[in-house]
Amino acid sequence: MIQVIYRQLASKIPYLGLVILLTFTTSLTAQEGDPAKGKTLYNTNCAACHQLDRKMTGPALRNVEARLAEEQGLDREWLNKWIRNSAGLIKSGDAYANQIYNEYNQVAMTAFPQLSDQDISDILAYTAEPKAEPAPTPGPDTGGTGGQVEGGISNKLILGALAILFALLAIALVLVRQTLNRFAEEKGVEIAAQDKGLPIWKAFVKNQFLVLVSVIFLMLASAYFVYGYLSQIGVDQGYEPVQPIHYSHRIHAGENGIDCKYCHSSARVSKHSGIPSLNICMNCHKSIYQVAEETQQMGIDEYGVDYNAEIQKLYKAVGWDEDEQQYTGETQPVKWVRIHNLPDFAYFNHSQHVSVAGVQCQTCHGPVEEMEVMYQHAPLTMGWCINCHRETNVKVEDNAYYTKIHEQLSKKYGVDKLTAAQMGGLECGKCHY
């Protein structure tokens, strides 16, 4: 037998290994894509309907490629087809495609023909990343609160120390005085008794004029305060009730910049601004089932509110089954506490102010976009209404209704711009009927 000695084998194996390794690695890199890029792409294209770890409009996508390969024996090719044109795949009669289609209420996935192979790889790489362990409670936060507590204590300490110091001082003074008196007594020094004269209050009582003046003054002052007290009865400025669902205007109108009239749409056409019905909340909250972690933490720290739990309250009220992603039909209407209350005899119409006059919501409702909890900003008194009517110009531009009356009235009053008052906005019957 011819013995072949692979003398170089030993030396070649590493090379081969390297080559194989290299090929494999490169190919792996090409296949896996870049999870960072993938994340960006995922958030732009997929996140509206998919979550990594839970079912939404579409299925959860964590390890989707591996899962498909394992469970259905479907390859990347199939995924590419599905992503680029799911409807086509369903039409072609593909079994799994149809199964998914039926499982998700026969809503076909939006086609993404613009995604390149590389893009898809990137996204899949992102979905293949292992689930991040819940981050430990951030240290700095605890430190922060601890610091605050410490600050509080130190302030108190300083104050306490000062108090003790003053007390000591006072005691020292008393002691000094006692000692001096004792000395004086022992030495036989007479302390001349001061001629006390009339005590001041007796002098005051004797002076009838002063008494009269001060009584009048006191009466006027108390009348002033009584009047002030009485006129704030029923004025609920600053009224900030606890609502059944902790709804943060700060997050919605402020951070997310949602237009007021997106939710309070009837303010445009009706006397009521309308409390949004829950189906309006669900327009967004169907897919926003939890807030970002930082927001959640901030809610707990600053306002003591678990935002995610509040979203769950909404789901409960509207009867949304998160797992099945459908409405159960069991609703529990939310009983909001009404904040802005005009008396029945005052007629106020939102559409007049919002649509016709173009008044900003904030003019009357205050910085709603900064309010974590909604409160009544304006006093909503008649004087407050009237002041505004006196000062505010009527928005007559591009409104054919005003053309004639504006021309006539501005001639009459000799002004360019008419205030609501000049337009007749102070007449009793405009608001009271």
Partner 1 sequence: MSSNKKYWKSVEELNENSSIVETLQQNEFVNEIPTDEFLGNKESLEASSTTRRDFLKYVGFSTAAASLAACEGPVIKSIPYVVQPESIIPGVANYYATTIANGFDFASVLVKTREGRPIKIENNNLAKTHNGANARVNASVLGLYDSLRVKSAMKDGKDILWSTFDTETNQKLTDLKNAGKEIVLLTQTYASPSTSKLISEFKEAYGNVRHVVYDAVSESATLDAYEAKYNVRGMASYDFSKAMTIVSVGADFLGDWQGGGFDAGYAQGRVPKDGKMSRHIQFESNMSLSGANADKRVPLTPSQQKQVLAKLYSLVVGGSVSTDLPQHIDQAVQKAASELKRAGSNGVLVTGIQDVNAQTVALAINESLGSKAFDPSTPILTRQGNNNAVAKLVADMKAGRVGGIIMSGVNPLYTLPNAADFTEGLEKTELSISFSMKADETSSATQYIAAAPHYLESWGDVELKKGHYSLMQPAIRTLFDTRQFQEALLKWTGNDMSYREYIKETWGTGILSGSSFNKALQDGVYVGSIATEIEDTADAVDASEVSDEPAPATSAGSAARALASSAKSEGMELSLYTKVGMGDGQQANNPWLQEFPDPITRTSWDNYLTISAADAKDLGLVNEYEATGALNGSYVDITVNGVTVKNVPVIIQPGQAKGSVGLSFGYGRTSGLKEEMMTGISAYPLYQNFNTAQSVSITKAAGMHEFACVQLQNTLMGRGDIIKETTLEIFNTYDREDHKYGWNKVPKVSLNHEETPVTSPEVDLWDEFDRSIGHHFNLSIDLNSCTGCGACVIACHAENNVPVVGKEEIRRSRDMHWLRIDRYYSSEDTFAEDDTKKEEFSGLTGDKGSLGGFAELEIAADNPQVAFQPVMCQHCNHAPCETVCPVAATSHGRQGQNHMAYNRCVGTRYCANNCPYKVRRFNWFLYAQNDEFDYYMNDDLGRMVLNPDVTVRSRGVMEKCSMCIQMTQKTILDAKRDGRVIKDGEFKTACSAACSSGAIKFGDINDKESEVAKLKENDRMYHLLESVGTKPNVQYQTKVRNTTEA
Q: Coil, helix or strand for 243?
A: coil
* DSSP string computed for 118-172: HHHHHHHHHHHSPPPPPPPPPHHHHHHHHHHHHHHHHHHHHHHHHHHHHHHHHHH
Length of the chain: 433
Which single residue is written with the structure tokens 């899962």? 67
- How big is the site for partner 1, counted in residues (CB under 8 A)? 55
Ordered DSSP codes for 168-227? HHHHHHHHHHHHHHHHHHHHT---PPP---S-HHHHHHH-HHHHHHHHHHHHHHHHHHHH
* Beta strand 326-327 pairing with 320-321: antiparallel
Asked if 229 is part of the footprint of partner 1 (rule: CB under 8 A), the reply reads: no
Instruction: Tell whether residue 148 is a contact of partner 1 (CB under 8 A).
Output: no
Q: Is 59 a binder of partner 1 (CB under 8 A)?
A: no
Q: How far is the CB of 348 from partner 1 (least distance, A)?
A: 11
**Residue 390, amino acid:** R
Residue 243 burial (CB count, 10 A): 15
Cβ at position 397, least distance to partner 1 in Å: 10
Least separation in angstroms between residue 360's CB and partner 1 is 17
Q: Output the smallest distance, CB 338 to partner 1, in A.
A: 4
Residues 280-299 that bind partner 1 (CB under 8 A): 280
Task: Return the closest-CA partner of residue 273 out of 283, 284, 263.
Answer: 263
In whole angstroms, the minimum distance from the beta carbon of 288 to partner 1 comes to 19
Q: Of 21, 215, 275, 292, which one interacts with partner 1 (CB under 8 A)?
A: 275
Give the shortest CB-359-to-partner 1 separation in angstroms: 13
Q: At what angle do helices 76-84 and 117-128 cross, to 10 degrees?
A: 110
Give the residue with the Cβ less far from partner 1, 256 or 399.
Answer: 399
Nearest to partner 1 of 296, 312 (CB atom): 312
- The CB-of-380 to partner 1 minimum distance in angstroms stands at 12
Separation CA 275–CA 279 (nearest Å)? 12
Q: What DSSP string describes 80-92? A: HHHHH-HHHHHHT
Note whether 159 and 167 are within 8 A (CB). Answer: no
Query: Among 128, 371, 409, 421, which residue sits at the site for partner 1 (rule: CB under 8 A)?
Result: 409
Minimum CB–partner distance for residue 388 and partner 1 (Å): 18
Backbone angles phi, psi at 419, to 5 degrees: -85, 165
By CB under 8 A, what part of segment 309-368 binds partner 1? 317-319, 331, 333-338, 341, 343-347, 349, 351-352, 355-356
Which of these ranges, 98-106, 291-299, 362-370, 405-413, lies near partner 1 under the rule CB under 8 A?
405-413
Query: Does 393 interact with partner 1 (rule: CB under 8 A)?
Result: no
- CB closer to partner 1 out of 206 and 272: 272
181 binds partner 1 (CB under 8 A): no
Position 236 contacts partner 1 (CB under 8 A): yes
- Quote the least distance from Cβ 383 to partner 1, whole Å: 14
Candidates 190-198, 298-306, 367-375, 395-403: pick the segment binding partner 1 (CB under 8 A).
395-403
Q: How far apart are CA 430 and CA 420, in angstroms?
A: 11
Closest CA relative to residue 127, chosen from 212, 53, 45, 17: 53
Tokens 């909404």 label which residue?
314
Under the binding rule (CB under 8 A), the answer on residue 405 touching partner 1 is yes
Q: Where does this chain bind partner 1 (CB under 8 A)?
A: 233-234, 236, 241, 266, 269-272, 274-280, 317-319, 331, 333-338, 341, 343-347, 349, 351-352, 355-356, 398-405, 408-409, 412, 424, 427-430, 432-433
